[in-house]
Amino acid sequence: MTRTIKGPGSFDVAIVGAGAAGMYCAAQAGGRGARVVLIDHAPRLAEKIRISGGGRCNFTNLEGDQIDRYLGDDPLFARFALREHPPAEFVDLVRRYRIGFHEKHRGQLFCDTSAEEIIAMLVAECDRAGVEWRRPVAVRSVARSGQGFQLQTDAGSIDARRLVVATGGLPVPKIGATDWGLILAKQFGLIVVEPRPALVPLTFTAQDWTAFVPLAGISLEVGIQVQPQSVDPVASGRRTKPVRFVEDLLFTHRGLSGPAVLQTSSFWRPGDALQVNLLPGQELAKDLVQLKSGGRKALSTILAERLPRRLAQDGFEPLTGHPAALGSSRIADFPDRVLEDLSGRIQSWTMTPSGSEGWRKAEVMRGGVSTRELDPRTMESRRIPGLHFIGEVVDITGWLGGYNFQWAWSSATVCARAMTELGD
């Protein structure tokens, strides 16, 4: 169990934020001989870990060190940390604690039972390393003090030679997420890339979506990508250009969700359209034209053999732009050009979202402390010696599927190692 100590103190390292990155960094720095204090304002520890992966914590991905799975103004910034601490090293720690896990989908590793096991492991590592805890304790102010920092907290004044900011991701405000880390960065004059929700469901105006509301609850595998309409130097960059994903899509009452849309949302900007192939890997136009010969089935019946039945029937008109009654006609009665047009609309369905479900539904934050401000080998500010930023507060965002946890572990590791090697 964690020990909460009320009172002031002097430490080598103060870490604000006892989430994934904060606890992992504290455990490693403490284990390498540093006197570490870990401070967190939340009454319940590591709630974001607890609710992740449906309560089973998708704690990394077997391909979590692949740099093309990360976004930001400069995603290459993450390369050093990911190479220094790849997924295999964190998996080794999980195995040492005898935590059962499995690969669920495309390299995604989940706990067999509960995310609580990952939290307990991190707490045990911190306690074993002699980390002191201050929680639930809020930090009221931070100022330079000599060669280090002085933090005024609810538990008294804390002095530290080095300060690590491991908090500041805005998603899920109901569990206590705040922009504290971003405010601190601005206080010290650092550049902050505008934060916005990522890995989040996308929504549409009531007018655009009314016809699709009856489709809520339908799920299917699709091919999906963003069609950029806005000028976005990040999204149009060589390594962060929109990617086509093949994942499951879910129709909701307000718009689109599911892994396909969550992945795509990280690339989406207001004004951009989504292009969706509802039958990826198929040549629908060719198949329909071939079925015309002697075909007595209704077109909607044939589509229902390839798509969810409710989507093929109730979604015929809004998806294709043709009257619903047309779907009941025999396929043999359709000219080839009409079948080709219908197929094109189904395999290249294009809609423009009006927004997203925002921070309350976002899984991560895109943006944060600019990587131009930090040294990738140490996560230390280039302008404020002794000030480090790790995890989600940094302008590095991973794909859905364990990549953001891997960034937390990797950035925490290089920071901890560097601090204990740099000393004063």
pLDDT tens-digit readout, 35-78: 999 999 999 999 999 999 999 999 999 999 999 999 999 999 99
The pLDDT confidence band at residue 422, using thresholds 50, 70 and 90, is low
pLDDT for the residue 230: 55
Same structural domain, 159 and 30: yes
Query: Is 85 part of any domain?
Result: yes
Helix or strand (DSSP H, E) at 249:
strand 245-251
Same structural domain, 293 and 379: no
Mean pLDDT (the chain, rounded):
93
Q: Cα(134)–Cα(39) distance, rounded to whole angstroms?
A: 5
Structure token pair of residue 191: 């550049």
Amino acid at 6: K
Answer with the one of 303, 324, 356 that is the final residue of a domain.
356
Helix or strand (DSSP H, E) at 142:
strand 139-145
Same structural domain, 261 and 315: yes
Distances (CA, A) of 330 to 232, 288, 319, 334: 46, 11, 19, 7
Domain of 211, CATH number, reads 2.40.30.10
Handedness of CA 86, 51, 98, 133 (dihedral sign): positive
Amino acid at 388: H
Query: Is 179 part of any domain?
Result: yes
Same structural domain, 280 and 143: no
Q: Cα(313)–Cα(151) distance, rounded to whole angstroms?
A: 62
Nearest to 400 by CA among 170, 90, 61, 118: 61
Domain that holds residue 71: 9-197+363-422
Nearest to 84 by CA among 393, 417, 371: 417
Given a contact cutoff of 8 angstroms between Cβ atoms, the answer to whether 61 and 406 are in contact is: yes
Residue 110 half-sphere exposure toward CB, CA atoms < 13 A? 16
Q: Cα(30)–Cα(403) distance, rounded to whole angstroms?
A: 25
Q: What percent of the chain lies above the pLDDT cut of 90?
A: 85
Residue 62 half-sphere exposure toward CB, CA atoms < 13 A? 10
Query: Is 4 part of any domain?
Result: no
- The beta strand positions in 273-417, using DSSP E, are 273-277, 349-351, 355-356, 364-369, 387-389, 397-398
Query: Is 208 part of any domain?
Result: yes
Domain of 143, CATH number, reads 3.50.50.60
Query: What Rg do the C-alpha atoms of the chain give, in angstroms?
Result: 25
- The angle at the Cα of 227, spanning 353 to 170, to the nearest 5 degrees, equals 55
pLDDT of 325 over the 90 cut:
no
Q: Pick the residue with more confidence: 228 or 346?
A: 346
**pLDDT, average across residues 178-193:** 95
Q: What percent of the chain lies above the pLDDT cut of 70?
A: 94
Judging by beta carbons within 10 Å of its beta carbon (0-12, 13-18, 19+), is residue 294 exposed, middle or buried? Answer: exposed
* Cβ atoms < 10 Å from Cβ of 376: 19
Query: Is 316 part of any domain?
Result: yes
The pLDDT confidence band at residue 213, using thresholds 50, 70 and 90, is very high
Same structural domain, 43 and 133: yes
Tell me the per-residue pLDDT of 239-294, one tens digit each, with 9 for 90 and over.
457 789 999 999 999 999 999 999 999 999 999 999 999 999 999 999 999 998 87
Answer with the one of 309, 338, 356 that is the final residue of a domain.
356
